[in-house]
Amino acid sequence: MPFSALGLSPKLSAAAHAAGFVGTTPVQRAAIGAVLDGQDVLAIAPTGSGKTAAYLLPLLDRLAAGDAIAARRRVVRALVLVPTRELVVQVARLAQAWANPLDLRVRALFGGVSVNPQMLALRGGADLVVATPGRLLDLLERHALSIDAVQTLVLDEADRMLDAGFAAEWARIALQLPPRRQNLFFSATFAPGVQALADSMLHQPLRIRVEAPASIPAAISHSAIAVDPDMRTRLLRHLVAQYAWDRVLVFVATKFAAEIVADKLRKGGVAAEPLHGQLSQGKRSQVLADFQAGRIAVLVATDLAARGIDIAQMPVVVHYDLPRSVDDYTHRSGRTGRAGNEGLALSFVCADTQPHWELICKRQGLDPVLEVVAGFEPVQSAVPRAFDPQCIGGIKGKRPSKKDKLRAAAAVMAAPEQAP
């Protein structure tokens, strides 16, 4: 079905076609009409399913046909919030290309660069602002813009925007938004707690859930390798060489781990760079450009930093550290297998993370064999988590309860003393 059949203006339909959007995806067919009608939308659809176009095209159409006085004053009438700088750039670039024929101004606001050019750009006004929460708050405090006339709010990667990591920033932004507005929440996943918060903010929303058709084989294959923690970097280097992977996205748990793993790979002769939130915007942009161009073979990234990376030819994603939640596993793995290409999501499973890996498999409906690579056989063995007295932090979704800890303590007390 073409975009013109969904009620979009001829100018936007032509602009979408010129950008390579020939046909429509399920989430676009479900959402565009509702957005044009001013309805709230809660859309859950897989990564790479066309969610950005599903909200941007009808949103721009509404802006072009909206309040002429507000348009002349360049009052901010639409706000798109996203979690990362890279996603701001990606969404704003697409929005501006489609907004140009409609004489609409789009402004991208993100941190890691000087605030002055963004303040100067806002002096000419903006119809649509795409921003990260931190930089938006910075500019609001400087009185560089106002969002009290926003008619439509979009949360892209809405699960991230509403979770604990952005809770304080979101609360401050919400106070400056008008209470009556259209809300569009788009995400690949929604945890139950975040879902409840989203429900409280929406007014009779259209709920959209798009699943991959069961008849189509999954573009992403999943595999796992058992390995001891201190052997993971050597194993990764071995696999890159063995399979001649020219582009690998590796996920780690912390910024420190990203630096350490990338450094060890470089010392082993692998072109690798870290990507995390403490890098300057210039450095992040350079790293991503080098990765896209093939000058870097391995990108070692944290979860949040990797949001917004959209590279079609991404053959392999490696979960060097398993994600804390099953939803994060979905987001990470969705970086591969895009645009119809096949992809591999490979997980390194250590003895202490095996129970969590089993939980991920259960909730994702996966059944991969836990493989062992010759020369990297693990020597550590898994300990049942319910009876591990040292397990006090736990893993999201499988933390020991108070009763579990009491049972573990009782088991330790009841155990016979070992002979010296």
What string of pLDDT tens digits covers the 420 residues of the chain?
Answer: 777 788 888 888 888 877 777 678 899 999 999 999 999 999 998 777 889 999 999 999 999 987 655 656 678 999 999 988 888 988 999 999 899 888 899 999 998 889 999 999 999 889 999 999 999 999 999 999 999 999 999 999 888 888 767 888 988 999 999 999 999 999 887 777 778 888 888 999 999 998 754 433 457 889 999 999 999 999 999 999 999 898 999 999 999 999 999 999 999 999 999 998 788 878 888 888 888 888 999 999 988 766 656 666 788 999 999 998 887 888 888 888 766 678 899 999 999 999 999 999 988 888 888 999 999 999 977 554 443 433 333 444 445 554 454 455 444 444 443 333
Distances (CA, A) of 172 to 112, 169, 224: 21, 5, 42
Q: Where in the sequence is the domain holding 263, given as residue range(s)?
A: 220-371
pLDDT at position 167: 81
Domain boundary among 164, 188, 209: 209
Please indicate, yes or no, whether residues 50 and 196 belong to a single structural domain of this protein: yes
What is the C-alpha to C-alpha distance for residues 212 and 234, in angstroms, rounded to an integer?
A: 35
Helix (H, G, I), strand (E, B) or coil at 112: coil
Distances (CA, A) of 12 to 34, 86, 152: 17, 24, 18
Please indicate, yes or no, whether residues 41 and 173 belong to a single structural domain of this protein: yes
Domain boundary among 155, 187, 209: 209
- Domain contains 267: yes
- Domain contains 396: no
- Domain contains 263: yes
Please indicate, yes or no, whether residues 159 and 267 belong to a single structural domain of this protein: no
- Domain contains 391: no
Domain boundary among 160, 189, 209: 209
What is the C-alpha to C-alpha distance for residues 65 and 2, in angstroms, rounded to an integer?
A: 21
Instruction: Please answer whether residues 35 and 55 qualify as being in contact, where contact means their C-beta atoms are separated by less than 8 angstroms.
Output: yes
**CATH number where 78 lies:** 3.40.50.300
Instruction: Please answer whether residues 306 and 167 qualify as being in contact, where contact means their C-beta atoms are separated by less than 8 angstroms.
Output: no
Total domains present in the chain: 2
- Domain contains 409: no
- Domain contains 417: no
Please indicate, yes or no, whether residues 28 and 162 belong to a single structural domain of this protein: yes
Please indicate, yes or no, whether residues 276 and 183 belong to a single structural domain of this protein: no
Please indicate, yes or no, whether residues 193 and 242 belong to a single structural domain of this protein: no
Please indicate, yes or no, whether residues 188 and 248 belong to a single structural domain of this protein: no
